Amino acid sequence: MVVPHGADRSPPVLQRVPCRVASAGDGAPPLELELIAAKPASTGGERTPLLFLHGAFAGAWVWAEHFLPFFAAAGYPAYALSLRGHAGSDGIDQLVRYGVDDFVADVGAALSVIGAPTVLVGHSMGGLIAQRCLGALDLSGLVLLASVPPEGLFTINIRLALSSPHLWTEMALAAVLHPNFADPQTMRRAMLSDTIPLQRLQDYFARMQNEATRATLEAQFPCVWRSAASLRVPTLVVGASRDRLIPRDAVVRTAWFHGSELREIADMAHAMMLEPHWQEAADLLLDWLRGKAF
């Protein structure tokens, strides 16, 4: 792990924190959610907690390798949530019927467990869920990394289908069936840089999974009505210059809609938390958090 400047150099330990949310089914037992935490080694002077939300096909594991230890070492209690039906959370048998509102409820359950004002960090589809939390949940701050824009993915998908039909087809196969039905090299070009080691690439794709059909459809026209600026929630929007899924103009529109600060990272692909130079994104976020006194 790369330790941020001025951090406690004791290695943080990842632990699973108990977290439950009511099931959508009548009379069904609560769902156990995977909530992973990395706490600062020192309890003195802890900063605002961070809650990281993963994107499609993934789980909390995308944050566990780099971001959680990094921010815990910088003094931030860092949490990552696997939404219902993802990774180590319950509900995989009902995944097809979960929508964005179900995932917002999961975030609410995690925030209740954290029990303190929290900065929400969402990547890709997790960014959409984070935006839908605005006005529904009490947030201290919001960070959107390569996020689905407020207007959704419909026009982006049309553009991708016309400009890169092979890539669009592979992504559609991944969404409708399973990532295993897509060409791994195409998926790599869509989400990661060519410099990532092959073994690590294979490990990541082996952990990818089905996505919620209902939530995927809702992401086309997600109806984000609340702006972070109107709620006075400090917000940072971050784009990646080599992101083939979320183009720069969509990132700009997201920043405009929320009245937020905008940053772009050069030579970075979509899944920035898994990139070989992931720390550029982490450092950028850390500087913003410290600048806002979180």
Per-residue confidence in pLDDT tens, the chain, 294 aa: 565 755 555 667 899 999 999 987 667 899 999 999 999 987 666 799 999 999 998 999 999 999 999 999 999 999 999 999 999 999 999 998 999 999 999 999 999 999 999 999 999 999 999 999 999 999 999 999 999 999 998 888 788 777 767 665 666 666 655 565 556 666 667 778 888 888 888 888 888 888 888 998 999 887 788 999 999 999 999 999 999 889 999 999 999 999 999 999 999 999 999 999 999 999 999 999 999 999
Cα–Cα distances in angstroms (integers) from residue 116 to residues 49, 138, 140, 167, 264, in the given order: 7, 10, 9, 42, 30
Q: In order of start, what are the domains of the chain with their CATH numbers?
A: 14-152+212-291 (3.40.50.1820)
Q: Rounded to an integer, what distance in angstroms lies between the CA atom of residue 125 and that of residue 93?
A: 20
Give the three-state DSSP class for 78.
Answer: strand
Place of tokens 């929290």: 118
Place of tokens 């529904």: 136
User: For residue 95, what are its two tokens?
Assistant: 């995944």
Overall pTM surpassing 0.75 (yes/no): yes
Cβ–Cβ < 8 Å for 48, 75: no
Question: How many helices and strands, by DSSP H and E, does the chain display?
Answer: 11, 10
